[in-house]
Structure formats: C-alpha cells, structure tokens
C-alpha cells in the first residue's frame, strides 16, 4: 500500500520531495488515470489540498493558479470575469463525449490530451506562460513569467507539458486566458450512441486519411473533429480502430502499449532529459514508457 502525503503549500511539497529516498507517484484528482502507464512507487503525493486561484489580472487576462485545482473549478472562477481556458468549452453532451473526467490542472498538463478546440485555440502549450516547478531534489524553480510576450531564457515550462510528471512536479501555473464571448464553435461531431461514456481510444490521423478513419470507426466513435483530424471512440478491451500511416493513438488501460518509441534518437533524448531533470529516477519512474 502506498504511503500518501497531502501537502497544502509549495514549501511542503519541496520538503517532501527533497527528503524522499524512494520513488514517488503523483495523484492529484483521481485514483488512476485511464491513459497512464503502471508505475512502481512507495510514496504517493497528492495535490488535492493544494488548490485555488492565487492571482487573476482580469485586464491583462493572466491567471496564476495552484496545479491541484480542478479544471472545472478554474473555469468557474474565470467565468465570473467573462474569461476561460478554451478547453472543451462545449455543451454538456459534447464535453462528456470527449472528456475522460474532470481532471486537475497538473494531470491535464501532464497528459496534454486532445480537446475539441485544439485547432482553433491551441492547447496547454499555447496557454501556459509560466510555472513554479518542484524538482526531485526539492528545489523550487520558476520558469516563464506573467508577461505574455516573454523572450528571456528557455521555455522550460513547455517541456513539462505531456511529460507525465516525470521531470518535475508543476505546482503553480500561469495562464493567459481567453474571452468567453470570443470562444469559437468546435465543429466536433458527437455520436448519440455513446453519450455519457468516456472514450477509451483517442486517435489522430493525417487529414487525407480522416474520412476513411471515420468510416472505419463506425458505431465505435463517440466523437470526431474534422479541424484536427482527431477521433474519440469507445472500444472493447484489447480492441481498437483501424490504424493509418503516420497516426498516433492513446488507449485506455493499455499500459506500455500507449507509449512505444521506435526511433532510437527519441528514446535517447527522453532518457537524457530524464537524467538531467531527475537523475535519481525518483519522479513517476516509467511514466514515459522508458526506464
């Protein structure tokens, strides 16, 4: 059984990680993420007590928030000022069809899953302009700033997006927000056969293959998006949709099959990055499919 720690400040997070001598897994909002890989760890660090907006500059459309905050909580607070993050801002049926659950910000950033407004409004990589990051030795590092146009230094915060918390723990995030009145229509098509069901398969194909992929998906599809050539589907265990050249997929509860890197250069770069940011392999070891 994992030993659980639930800090309520960034200093407590830093002290815990700095003192930890065993592998640590992060869990901020749900018992297990459906698209996560299995991780062997002795300690669990939860951010469920580290939530809330720290600062919101309405005129500059910039918000600083603790990463344990649920996406719905942040959207509610931003909505009071006519702002939002342009992530799956759809009617409830469409949001259900394309969202796995109401995730925390730290998990959303860690997995960087496709969403219905990806093509029109970008993703986490486009909205995050700064983070406060806790490294494996307990060091608190600041990356980026509150300025939307910032050219100083490296964009280390972007390296954390999609890294599955294996390089460091994003504790606080600075976003540039989006006006609710300017939110475009998504254009996502939703199947009435799967309303209320979370997708177990996410696939992005080349635009030239999209029509064929939709036809091949048939009644398994929960939703599909022409703008980004993305499909969401509900499939049986160990089954999936037709594959196409150059596509990529995520499968629920597929363990290491979700991340299979064939290019040795990519493997080498991932390993080297992990060595630089987490030399003791303490943070979510194996989360990227490479040990």
The pLDDT assigned to 88 comes to: 64
Q: Which residues of 150-188 are buried (b: 16+ CB within 10 A; e: fewer)?
A: eeeeeebbbebbebbbbbbbbbbbbbbbbeeeeeeebeb
Query: 63: which strand partners?
Result: 56, 175
Rounded distance between C-alpha atoms, residue 158 and residue 124, angstroms: 9
Per the listing, tokens 């250069």 go with 265
pLDDT score recorded for residue 257: 64
Contacts of 89 (CB under 8 A, 6+ apart): 75, 117, 180, 183, 186
Closest residue by Cα to residue 225 from 170, 261, 185: 185
Give me 80's structure tokens. 């009071």
Q: What is the pLDDT of residues 9-44, one digit of tens each?
A: 999 999 999 999 999 988 754 445 677 777 777 889
pLDDT at 119 (0 to 100) = 87
In whole angstroms, what is the distance from residue 64 CA to residue 249 CA? 32
Model pLDDT, residue 94 = 45
Q: Give the model's pLDDT for residue 98.
A: 47
Task: Show the CA angle centred on residue 140, arms to residues 138 and 144, nearest 5°.
Answer: 150
Bridge partners, 207 (sequence order) = none
This prediction has a pTM of 0.85
**Residue 187: predicted pLDDT:** 73
**If one looks up domain 53-181 in CATH, what number appears?**
3.30.465.10
Please state the domain extents for the chain. 3-45, 53-181, 187-258
Q: Which residues of the chain have pLDDT under 50?
A: 29-31, 89-98, 100
CA 32 vs CA 38, 45, 200, 222, 252: distances in Å: 9, 13, 14, 22, 11
Res 95: pLDDT:
45
């Amino acid at each position: 059984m994992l030993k659980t720690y639930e800090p309520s400040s960034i200093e407590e997070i830093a002290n815990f990680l700095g003192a930890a001598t065993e592998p640590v897994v992060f869990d901020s909002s749900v018992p297990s993420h459906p698209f996560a890989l299995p991780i062997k760890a002795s300690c669990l660090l939860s951010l469920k007590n580290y939530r809330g907006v720290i600062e919101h500059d309405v005129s500059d459309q910039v918000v600083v928030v603790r990463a344990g905050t649920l996406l719905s909580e942040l959207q509610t607070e931003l909505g009071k000022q006519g702002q939002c993050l342009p992530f799956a801002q759809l009617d409830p049926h469409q949001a259900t069809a394309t969202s796995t659950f109401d995730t925390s910000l730290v998990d959303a950033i860690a997995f960087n899953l496709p969403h219905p407004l990806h093509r029109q409004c970008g993703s986490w990589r486009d909205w995050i302009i700064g983070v406060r990051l806790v490294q494996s030795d307990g060091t608190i590092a600041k990356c980026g700033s509150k300025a939307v146009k910032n050219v100083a230094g490296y964009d280390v915060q972007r390296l954390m997006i999609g890294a599955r918390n294996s390089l460091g723990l994003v504790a606080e995030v600075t976003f540039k927000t989006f006006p609710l009145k300017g939110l475009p229509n998504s254009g996502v098509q939703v199947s009435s056969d799967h309303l209320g069901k979370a997708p177990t398969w996410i696939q992005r194909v080349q635009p030239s293959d999209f029509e064929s992929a939709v036809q091949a998906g048939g009644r398994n599809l929960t939703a599909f998006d022409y703008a980004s050539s993305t499909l969401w589907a509900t499939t049986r265990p160990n089954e999936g949709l037709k594959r196409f050249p150059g596509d990529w997929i995520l499968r629920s509860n597929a363990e290491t099959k979700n991340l299979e890197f064939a290019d040795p250069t990519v493997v080498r770069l991932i390993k080297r990055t992990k060595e630089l940011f987490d030399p003791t392999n303490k943070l979510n070891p194996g989360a990227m499919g490479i040990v």
